[in-house]
Structure formats: structure tokens, C-alpha cells
Amino acid sequence: MPLVDLNNVRIHYDLKGSGDLPVLVLSNSLGTDCNMWNQQLAEFSKNFRILRYDTRGHGQSSVAPGRYTIEGLALDLVGLLDHLELSRVYFCGLSMGGLTGMWIGMHAPQRLHKIVLSNTALKIGTSEGWNSRMEAVRNHGLQPIASAVLDRWFTPAFRLSFPRAVESARQMLVGVAAEGYIACCGAIRDADFRGASPDGSVAGIRVPTLVVSGAHDPVTTPADARAIADCIAGAQRVELQAAHLSNIEAASAFSMEVGRFLTA
């Protein structure tokens, strides 16, 4: 998979499919990489050329120095689209990827046909919670927090029934550079898309939007999804039987619902 230098970061991406098809961008969550979308590729490739990429600090993308922001992560993607000469795309992002999609939907809507915002929120977590996690990873790395993260990513039933999928997710998590993980935690901590926030409000989004939630997601709850959908005029919403990584736990339902929205 190729790499491209964009300002102060090197982004790893994968673009596959016929040039005659519209492009669908898949944006990863915190602690994963572009492989988190593997179970969607077969279905989505029927109608789209697929662009996956590793958010800075994750996977094979570089760890750029300095403070990260959701605006910066979004501009990385805009820069990648410019490099690939893709003027307008479809977008699907989960958690951190959903925050990225919200920023682009507000500030660069002309780059998007439709947006899928999955397992995300106008404001994810608390500053205290993020600061505690960042300090733990800074002091001890990702291995010690992996079990707690997986408990939030998947329901107990899924962890018991699909240990290989859970182990694959664990390997993605512990393979992330600690510095990149910490910096992206900071970006999520500081992002706030509620009404009077400095980042702006998603109420200004006019791009057709689907909001996906997991019924058992303890991180970005169904109530968080309703709050997003209520803000965006005409937004659709679907709830899947899954925890946080709904595209993995409820892969078939996720692919079906997202695919139906994108092709409608």
C-alpha cells in the first residue's frame, strides 16, 4: 500500500477498485488501522472504489510531533483527496473517524456526497477520563489497557463466541505507536461539536447523513447517536446489536445498512 507525504505527516492509504466507480472513504477509530474495515470490503466494493487510510499516529502512517486536533486529522484526509485528485467522495467513519467526518461535513461539505457517522458523539468522554488514559499509556504503553479497551469494543457474548476476531482487534490496538495513540486521545478529548462549542455545531451539516450506533456501546451510546441525528436536518439513524466496533461485531448488518444508505 502506498504512502504520501502531506505537510508534516506521512499517510498510508489503500485505493482499490474501478476508476469508473464513485469513491468511498473509510476512516478508522482510535486504536485501530485501515484493516478494521476488512469485513466491509467485499460488499462495499460492489458499488464503490474503496479508499482506506491510517489516521496519523496509527498503522503505517507516521507519528507527527505536536498537538493533534480533529481539524488536523480532517485536513490530512482533505490533503490525501487532493493528492489523489478526488474532488468529491462518500465517507464512512467510526468513532474518531466519525469526528473527522463531522468536521469535513461542517467545513468542507463540497468534498462529500454522503456521510456515515458510526459509533461517535458530539463530545466523546470527559477530559478527566482522556487525561487518565493518556497518562497510563505514557507510563506503561498500550498492553496494560488492552483488555479494558476490548471490553468496550465488543459485548461479552461476541468476545466469547469470536475469539479470533477479538484477538485480531487486540493486535491492531497494541500495534499502534503509543505516541500516536496519546496524541489522538488528545484530539478526541478536545473535540466538541455541541451547539455553542468553539469547533462549531453539526447543525450546519447539509450533506445527507446516516448515524449508526451500537445498542450495547458504552463509549458512544444510542443517546449520543440520537443527539447527532437530531441536530442534522434529515439525518437517518440505525441501531445495531453491537458494542463500540459495530462494523466488526455486526459486520453483515452494518454493511447492509450502510450500503443501502449510500446507494439510495
Q: Which domains, from first to last, does the chain contain? A: 3-263 (3.40.50.1820)
pLDDT at 71: 96
Q: How many C-beta atoms surround the C-beta of residue 190 within 10 A?
A: 16
Structure confidence at residue 200 (pLDDT)? 66
In the chain, pLDDT over 90 holds for what percent of residues? 95
Instruction: Give the whole-angstrom CA distance, residue 239 versus residue 222.
Output: 7
Cell of 168: 485480531
Contacts 24+ apart (CB under 8 A), 251-257: 251/39, 251/40, 254/40, 254/118, 254/212, 255/39, 255/40, 255/43, 255/44, 256/43, 257/210, 257/212
pLDDT score of 194: 87
Q: Render pLDDT for 65-99 as a digit per residue (tens, 0 to 9).
A: 999 999 999 999 999 999 999 999 999 999 999 99
Q: Looking at the predicted structure, is the pLDDT value of residue 221 above 80?
A: yes
123: confidence class by pLDDT, cuts 50, 70, 90: very high
According to DSSP, the residues that pair with 10 across neighbouring strands are 5
Q: Give the mean pLDDT of 226-231.
A: 96
179-219 pLDDT, tens digit each: 999 999 999 999 999 875 555 689 889 999 999 999 999 99
User: What is the pTM (predicted TM-score) of this model?
Assistant: 0.96
Q: What is the pLDDT of residue 201?
A: 80
Which pLDDT score, from 0 to 100, does residue 196 have?
59
Element (H, E) at 261: helix 251-263
Check pLDDT > 70 for residue 164: yes
Tell me, what's the pLDDT at 7? 78
Cα separation, 233 vs 244, whole angstroms: 25
Average pLDDT of every residue of the chain = 96
In the predicted model, is pLDDT for residue 260 greater than 60? yes
The end-to-end CA distance of the chain, in Å, is 31
Count, in order, helices (H) and strands (E) of the chain. 11, 8
Share of the chain above pLDDT 70, in %: 98
> Which residue in 229, 255, 231, 230 sits closest to 242, CA to CA?
255
Q: What is the pLDDT of residue 197?
A: 58
Q: Backbone dihedral region of 66: left (phi > 0), alpha (psi from -120 to 50 degrees) or beta?
A: left
Q: How many Cα atoms sit within 13 Å of 118 on the Cβ side?
A: 30
Average pLDDT over residues 96-120: 97
Residues with Cβ within 8 Å of 204's Cβ and at least 6 positions away in sequence, in order, are: 106
Above 90 in pLDDT, residue 173? Answer: yes
- List, for residues 23-58, the tens digit of each pLDDT value: 999 999 999 999 999 999 999 999 999 999 999 999
Contact 25/89 with Cβ under 8 angstroms?
Answer: yes
